[in-house]
Amino acid sequence: MTEEILHSEYLYRGRVIKLRLDQVRLPNRNIVAREVVEHAGAAAIVALDDAANVLLVRQHRAGAARELLEIPAGTLEAGEDPTRCATRELTEETGYRAQQWDDLGYFYSSPGFCTEIMRLFLARQLTFDKPSPEEDELIHVERVPLAEAIRMIERGDIVDAKTMIGLLRVARVLGASGV
């Protein structure tokens, strides 16, 4: 069941997103409007140290109108490989570099209206370099035991979707592998 796009029009073109209005024909022949937010995609990183602590970043998020605790992540630059983006974002936001990278797959952040695909990575064998956040990022890094981070999800202290998906995925992978 696919929808046929009859007409597309950009209503907004910004630095991070574009807003497109599509007129589409549904399989039942009805014609409806679809608002689509175009996003280049992102990479999100669960950085795990040798003591099973994860690096989380606390920062204010305008959409939530509050500070959130999240895994490091960032938007892909045009044509950028997601692994390269993950490497860059981990260092920028936390100051750490990783020797081991595992690709944990991808997910759509909100497919009902947004094209954003997030690639998820597990970063291990961490060494500290120095953080270099972008000028609009005020980030505080927190080191939290993975087990406690899972409890924080259960208590509602961590409410960011990519962080919940990443932490739960890593807990499942590590639990299954016995690590």
Please give the positions annotated as active site: 135
CA distance 82 to 76: 7
CA distance 158 to 57: 11
CA distance 98 to 53: 14
Report yes or no: 150 and 158 within 8 Å, Cβ to Cβ: no
Cβ of 49: how many Cβ atoms within 10 Å? 17
Helix (H) or strand (E) holding 175: helix 161-177
Chain centroid to CA 7: 30
